[in-house]
């Protein structure tokens, strides 16, 4: 089943940082795939920009190599590849200097959609916005795309919002959280709001608790210096897990409109309770079996930064009071797995007697790998011998349900095309980001004040043992990471 291609207007997309890791691994392959699907209309251009000196031909050769290295699907089609490379241009420029800016301004066309993708380190975001303004490229129709991290805390996020606001209106700013571009994450909204089945039960009366897990097997790798300043709380919870929590917990927006959706997400963030120290477990992976420890990888033997965090979060509103959300994320864990598990309460009365083996209904939404959903329900075990209950899985893999040839687009494919379409629904608004930092900052400040030491955990494990206690003491348990 081929994905439906929605046409967009011709566009000029400038990628600042076109020679960098993100551009090579994600942005350029995503654009190529959309091009191959026929979604880049004739006359559209992708203009690379970075300090590296390339002429047009040199940049095209660079992108050709990049695509060969980074496209994981379908054998390259030489004609499509050549046509895509034809749509590329390049300007060498320095975000902090004057070089290249006049040349870039001269390339811009007034009559097409114009977007600038800031795929450079966050310290350059302000410099780029200022130069776009100074060189007359911050026109009212221009869009800018800003990568994460959006600030390091509330103060820096506010300052960045103010810098961008000096040149661009909020409707022109697309703050990326690539989790929102994942098909399964968008599916959370479809499941909740396109079915009558779940919404009546979607509250503290019927839901016992929610678990959100984003587990990685990789360590910090080459991101050591950045990661050691950030940690799991800033790198994952403040943005990705927070977004997942919002989509699960928000009220139904009145329509699928960017501000209607983002208004509801913001209300959830504002209703989050402060997290008590005893409701958080921080961890740091130890070394073992030939694998380097966190401290070795970041080359900082005194680091107190967490590579794992688990926390219990309460939401003080009518819908959720009394239903805890347990969040956990970490590196070097047993498996790469992201999922949301919604555990329902037991029925008020068992007609099968007190001793009947009982398992609560659980709706599991798998974000990766094997995107899909499982609903665990109780049935009668077949055969004679009385009413024996058993819990079974109603299991749906999207790949199976939608057909094996259904290409699930990468998050960046969806998000870049939404920028071109001018649809901000899957991008974070400035006030949302600030509210998320306002909730996160006191948690981190407390750790810093008390010089809190993360608990070591074995690589390949499920995280520190203390994280188990976070749920055990509430009579609950984490789902296995596998």
Residue 333 Cα to chain centre, angstroms? 19
Task: Check 167, 178, 209, 240 and give the catalytic one.
Answer: 240
Query: Of 94 and 452, which CB lies nearer to ligand NAP in the complex structure?
Result: 94
If you write DSSP's letter for every residue of 28-43 in order, what string do you get?
Answer: HHHHHHHHHTT-S-TT
Check residue 480 and report its DSSP letter: P
Query: Of 17 and 231, which CB lies nearer to ligand NAP in the complex structure?
Result: 17
Check residue 381 and report its DSSP letter: P
Catalogue the long-range contacts made by 99-104 (C-beta closer than 8 Å, 24 or more residues apart). Answer: 100/49, 101/131, 101/134, 101/135, 102/135, 104/14, 104/47, 104/49, 104/135, 104/137
Answer for the pair 331, 219: CB distance below 8 angstroms, yes or no: yes
The position carrying tokens 């046509």 is: 83
Residue 162 main-chain phi, psi, to 5 deg: -65, -40
Residue 412 main-chain phi, psi, to 5 deg: -65, -30
Smallest separation, CB 58 to ligand NAP (Å): 12
Contact residues for ligand NAP, defined by CB under 6 A: 16-23, 50-52, 93-96, 119-122, 124, 147-149
Is 240 annotated in the active site?
A: yes
Query: Of 147 and 458, which CB lies nearer to ligand NAP in the complex structure?
Result: 147
Query: Of 26 and 376, which CB lies nearer to ligand NAP in the complex structure?
Result: 26
Smallest separation, CB 441 to ligand NAP (Å): 20
Smallest separation, CB 124 to ligand NAP (Å): 6
The position carrying tokens 């949302």 is: 432
CA dist 410 and 130 (Å) reads 31
Query: Of 28 and 375, which CB lies nearer to ligand NAP in the complex structure?
Result: 28
CA dist 108 and 460 (Å) reads 50
Answer for the pair 132, 142: CB distance below 8 angstroms, yes or no: yes
| 91 beta partners | 49
CA dist 273 and 315 (Å) reads 6
CA dist 410 and 398 (Å) reads 15
Smallest separation, CB 78 to ligand NAP (Å): 27
Q: Which residue is nearest to ligand NAP (CB)?
A: 20
Query: Of 229 and 407, which CB lies nearer to ligand NAP in the complex structure?
Result: 229
Smallest separation, CB 223 to ligand NAP (Å): 8
CA dist 389 and 370 (Å) reads 28
CA dist 219 and 224 (Å) reads 9
Smallest separation, CB 287 to ligand NAP (Å): 24
CA dist 439 and 109 (Å) reads 42
Answer for the pair 309, 282: CB distance below 8 angstroms, yes or no: yes
My answer on whether omega of the bond before 45 falls inside 30° of 0, hence cis, is: no
Smallest separation, CB 51 to ligand NAP (Å): 3
Query: Of 21 and 257, which CB lies nearer to ligand NAP in the complex structure?
Result: 21
Query: Of 17 and 181, which CB lies nearer to ligand NAP in the complex structure?
Result: 17
Smallest separation, CB 428 to ligand NAP (Å): 13
Q: Which residues are catalytic?
A: 240
């Amino acid at each position: 089943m081929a994905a439906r291609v929605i046409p967009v207007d011709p566009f000029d997309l400038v990628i600042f940082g076109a020679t960098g890791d993100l551009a090579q691994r994600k942005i350029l392959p995503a654009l190529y795939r959309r091009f191959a699907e026929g979604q880049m209309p004739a006359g559209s251009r992708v203009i690379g920009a970075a300090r590296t000196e390339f002429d047009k031909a040199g940049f095209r050769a660079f992108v050709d190599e990049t695509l060969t290295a980074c496209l994981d699907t379908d054998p390259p089609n030489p004609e499509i590849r050549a046509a895509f490379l034809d749509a590329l241009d390049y300007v060498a420029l320095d975000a902090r200097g004057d070089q290249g800016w006049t040349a870039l301004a001269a390339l811009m066309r007034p009559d097409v959609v114009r977007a600038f993708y800031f795929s450079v380190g966050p310290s350059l975001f302000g410099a780029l916005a200022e130069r776009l303004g100074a060189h007359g490229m911050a026109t009212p129709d221009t869009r800018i795309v800003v990568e994460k991290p959006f600030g390091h805390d509330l103060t820096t996020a506010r300052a960045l919002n103010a810098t961008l606001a000096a040149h661009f209106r909020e409707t022109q700013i697309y703050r990326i959280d690539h989790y929102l571009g994942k098909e399964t994450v968008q599916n959370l909204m479809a499941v909740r709001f396109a079915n009558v089945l779940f919404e009546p039960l979607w509250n503290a009366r019927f839901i016992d608790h929610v678990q959100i897990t984003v587990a990685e097997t990789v360590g910090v790798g080459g991101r050591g210096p950045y990661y050691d300043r950030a940690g799991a709380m800033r790198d994952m919870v403040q943005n990705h897990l927070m977004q997942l929590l919002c989509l699960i917990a928000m009220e139904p927006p009145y329509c699928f409109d960017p501000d209607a959706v983002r208004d509801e997400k913001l209300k959830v963030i504002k209703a989050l309770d402060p997290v008590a120290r005893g409701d958080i477990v921080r961890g740091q992976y130890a070394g073992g079996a030939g694998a380097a420890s966190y401290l070795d990888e970041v080359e900082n033997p005194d680091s107190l930064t967490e590579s794992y965090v688990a926390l219990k979060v309460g939401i003080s509103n009518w819908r959720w009071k009394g239903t805890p959300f347990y969040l956990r994320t970490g590196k070097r864990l047993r498996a790469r797995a992201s999922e949301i598990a919604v555990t329902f309460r037991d029925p008020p009365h068992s007609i099968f007697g007190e001793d009947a083996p009982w398992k609560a209904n659980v709706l599991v939404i798998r974000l990766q790998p094997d995107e899909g959903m499982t609903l665990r329900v109780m049935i009668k075990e077949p055969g004679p011998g009385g009413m024996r209950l058993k819990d079974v899985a109603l299991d749906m893999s999207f790949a199976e349900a939608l057909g094996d040839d259904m290409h699930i687009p990468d998050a960046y494919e969806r998000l870049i095309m939404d920028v071109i379409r001018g649809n901000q629904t899957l991008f974070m608004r400035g006030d949302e980001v600030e509210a998320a930092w306002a909730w996160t900052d006191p948690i981190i400040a407390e750790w810093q004040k008390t010089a809190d030491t993360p608990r070591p955990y074995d690589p390949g494990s499920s995280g520190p043992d203390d994280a188990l206690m976070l749920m055990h003491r509430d009579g609950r348990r984490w789902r296995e990471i596998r």
